[in-house]
Chain A
C-alpha cells in the first residue's frame, strides 16, 4: 500500500512552458485534492474532486486544470507556467466517510518557474 504518490519530486520550468503533475492513490479514496504551499505559508486549495468525472474549484484555481478519469489518478495541469506558480504542490486523498475523513498527503512536488 503506497498511499499517495506524486511525480516528479522536483521540476524547473521556463515561463510559458506547460507540465502535468501526477498524483496517484491506492487506497480507493473517493476524494482527492491539490494544494499549493508557498514559502512560509499555509496550504491553498487549487482543485478538488469528489469522485471520478467530478471536479471543482478551490481557492486558487486560475492557471491550473485538472481531470479525474479514474478513482486512482488526479493529475494537475499547468498550461502556461508563470513565476507566480513557483511553489510546493501537495496532492491528498480522503475517504470522507463518517469518522474516516482525514486527508492523506503525498510527499509534494517542488516547482520552480524561471
Chain B
C-alpha cells in the first residue's frame, strides 16, 4: 500500500532559523502531494501542494518541490517565526482519491 514517512520530531528552532522537514513517500502511479498544518486544538489546513513531478508548491514563505526521482516532498522555510509553531503533516492523494498522511512533525519556534 501507499505510505508517507516524515522526519521525526519534535523540532525546536530559534526565530529566523532555517526550517527543513523531510517527507518521503511510496505510492503507485502519480499521486498529488500536500503539506497540511494543524494549530493547537484546530483541524488541518492546507499549507501547500504539488500535483506533478517538479512542481513547486509555496505559501506563506514555505515551499516544497515534488521530486519523483527521490520520491520526496521536503518542506522548507528560510526564516521561521514564533507563529509557525504547529504540527505539520505530509500527505498524498492518489488519482482514485485514496489519501495517506504522515505521522506529523511538531515544530516549536522560540523567540
Chain B's interface: helix, strand, loop or mixed, by majority? strand
**Contact indicator A105/B44 (Cβ below 8 Å):** yes
Binary CB contact string for chain A from 62 to 76 against chain B (1 if under 8 A, 0 otherwise): 000000000000000
Distance in angstroms between the alpha carbons of A76 and B43 in the assembled complex: 18
**Contact indicator A48/B98 (Cβ below 8 Å):** yes
Known: A48-B98, A94-B93, A108-B43. A102 touches B49 (CB 8 A): yes
- Whole-angstrom distance between the Cβ of B32 and the nearest chain A Cβ: 5
Binary CB contact string for chain A from 87 to 114 against chain B (1 if under 8 A, 0 otherwise): 0001010101011011111111000000
Distance in angstroms between the alpha carbons of A44 and B36 in the assembled complex: 14
Interface residues on chain A, size class: 20 to 34
**Sampled A-B contacts (15; CB under 8 Å):** A35-B101, A41-B104, A42-B6, A42-B89, A43-B44, A43-B91, A45-B100, A48-B97, A50-B96, A56-B98, A94-B93, A99-B51, A102-B34, A103-B44, A106-B43
Binding site for A on B (CB under 8 A): 1, 6, 32, 34, 36, 42-46, 49, 51, 89, 91, 93, 96-104
